[in-house]
Amino acid sequence: MKLRTISWAVFCIALVFGALAYPPQTSAKNLDLSGFIRTYNKTPYKAWITIYDIGKTRHMDYGMLDPGTARHWDNCCYVLGSYYHVRAEVKKLVDGKEQTIFDTSIRITPHLCSYRYKQESYPFAAVELRKGSGDTFYWEADSNECGGR
């Protein structure tokens, strides 16, 4: 019984050292842990964007997104597998003043993107703000893009 326990311990140690000696193809230097979020405004209106942490207690990024434009948000540390809330306050000029006409949000989580040509990987998420019927707006997750830096 003692021999079996010692053999198992030696096997585990060898397994750990083997994993350290032969790391996976994505090495630590090619894995960028500071990801980013990209938002697209596919509407004819300006939108004030705020990105919150999972508890909606901290503003990670914020700013205006003009109609028909995209923005790359990387002010903070968007981590693979974490959840974030992206909020859009859609703005319209009413009597010479910019007013919020709609407020919408979406919960997202960055996924791992591998950019083949640069041989690097990083957390990434993308969402599109779209116009619904009437004066409604909504977010749509863009899962096809990988946002090549």
Residue 125 contacts residue 111 (beta carbons within 8 Å): yes
What sign results for the dihedral spanned by CA atoms 91, 130, 43, 71?
Answer: positive
For residue 32, is pLDDT > 60? no
Please tell me the pTM assigned to this model: 0.72
Q: Where do the domains of the chain lie, and which CATH numbers do they carry?
A: 27-141 (2.60.40.10)
Q: What is the pLDDT of residues 69-127, one digit of tens each?
A: 999 898 777 888 889 999 999 999 889 999 999 999 999 988 887 765 556 677 888 99
Q: Report d(CA 126, CA 110) in Å as an integer.
A: 8
Residue 144 pLDDT grade (very low, low, confident, very high; cuts 50, 70, 90): low
